[in-house]
Amino acid sequence: MAIINYVTQIQFDFGASSLLQAECDRLGIRHPMVVTDAGVRAAGIVDQVLKHLRDPNVTIYDQTPPNPNETAVRQAANQYRKGGFDGIIAIGGGSSIDLAKGVAICGTHEGPLRNFAVVEGGAERITAATAQIIAIPTTAGTGSEVGRGAILILEDGRKVGLLSPYLVPKSAICDPELTLSLPALMTAATGMDAIAHCLETFMSAAFNPPADGIALDGLRRGWLNIERATRNPDDREARMNMMSASMQGALAFQKGLGCVHSLSHSLGGIDPRLHHGTLNKIFLPVVIEFNSDCDSMRQEHKLDRIAQTMQLKGPEEIGRAIQEMSDRLNLPKGLTELGVKRELFPQIIKGALADHTHKTNPRIASEEDYYWMLEQSL
């Protein structure tokens, strides 16, 4: 049985952040708490957004780490409980929005964060009591503003997914204006994250034709604009298309992801300093090669359709094109450049096999398959 559900209200345009107060009023949020990170706040983006509230003097939690973890969730959730807030405004990249989702759960539910992880059977424990979120992305990468999940690192080091329809932000305000100051390397890394979402969800064997259409269109926008946005940060058309690709990738990946993400989730939990989008870029070519030998991929000519969308001559060019694009964007070539050693392979593979995205890859990977993917990604 296919479940196809798109329920988020999205405000998308340059200057859309001016609608923040209207969205608070629509949702009945009168006393919001803001979740962001120190960098976004220091850049003045938080003030730029909050000036649109009738009362911009709101409580702000700005200690979101690059890879959000349980410690930060607990700190912010305690602040949420003590403040008597009735909603959350998340301003930032995927880390801040995912942290806000953790706060939305832990600020309204009892128990440790692991109780709500998918791998612990936690989806059914997330209830309608979950705090409302208004998500305002400042990067074009994760698309968490329209997603039903959050990726968080538990106290035991596992990087896990929390999934529930109650986690979908009640409002997504996508304002490409907020991404114009994003540095080139971050534009490239987050943009490759969006492209990975579009590619991997399209490859998934689950039946969801609307998601496939959204993913291919998002891939087209991302692939044709990532270099423009990286090289010319003030290119408004490129920034708009990258934010759309990010949003579309997350709308589509409700269908499911795969080995790219099972590997990057696992490795990102082991070493939280590693950027998720960069890891996705590194794993993409080898996972595409692994998936090519798959009935569902061949029957629906998926690699041909991907190549056509990327304006390539044929499927054999996809992996090489991704690597060449990565080189032009000055992103790391492989895991060795990130300091990842073979000694970590068993731990990475153990985490990948347990990750919720492992099961939705079109071709189920074995321990040996993952070892081969890691070896090829060095």
Q: Are residues 122 and 189 in the same domain?
A: no
Least confident of 86-90, 151-155, 220-224: 151-155
Q: Which residues contact 374 (CB under 8 A, 6 or more apart)?
A: 263, 335, 342, 345, 348, 349
Q: Does a structural domain hold residue 1?
A: no
56 and 202 together in one domain: no
76-93: average pLDDT: 96
Q: Are residues 296 and 211 in the same domain?
A: yes
Question: Within the chain, how many helices (H) and strands (E) appear?
Answer: 15, 8
| Number of domains into which the chain is organized | 2
Among 143, 178, 213, the domain boundary falls at 178
Do 173 and 247 belong to one domain? no
67 plus 208 within the same structural domain: no
Same domain, 86 and 215: no
In a domain, 4, yes or no: no
Q: Cα–Cα distance between 14 and 19 in angstroms, integer?
A: 11
- Flag whether pLDDT at 157 surpasses 90: no
- 132 and 44, same structural domain? yes
The token pair at 159 is: 């990087």
**pLDDT tens digit string along 275-287?**
999 999 999 999 9
pLDDT value, residue 1: 42
Instruction: Based on the fold, state whether residues 192 and 173 are members of the same structural domain.
Output: no
pLDDT at position 250, please? 94
Instruction: Specify the pLDDT at position 347.
Output: 96
Q: Is residue 174 part of a domain?
A: yes
Residue 101 pLDDT = 98
Determine the pLDDT at residue 4: 52
Are residues 240 and 218 in contact, defined by beta-carbon separation less than 8 angstroms? no
Which amino acid, one-letter code, is at 75?
A: Q
Q: Residue 53 is part of a domain; what is its CATH number?
A: 3.40.50.1970
Residues 68, 210, single domain; the answer is no
Confidence at residue 280, expressed as pLDDT on a 0 to 100 scale: 96
Q: Show which of 126, 146, 178 is a domain's final residue.
A: 178
pLDDT (tens digit per residue) in 245-284: 999 999 998 889 999 999 999 999 899 899 999 999 999 9
In the beta sheet, which residues pair with residue 159?
Answer: 153
Classified as helix, coil or strand, 15 is coil
Query: Which of 120, 148, 178 is the last residue before a domain boundary?
Result: 178
Q: How far apart are CA 211 and CA 10, in angstroms?
A: 17
Sign of the torsion formed by the C-alpha atoms of 147, 354, 193 and 311 = negative
Which structural domain range is residue 216 located in?
A: 184-376
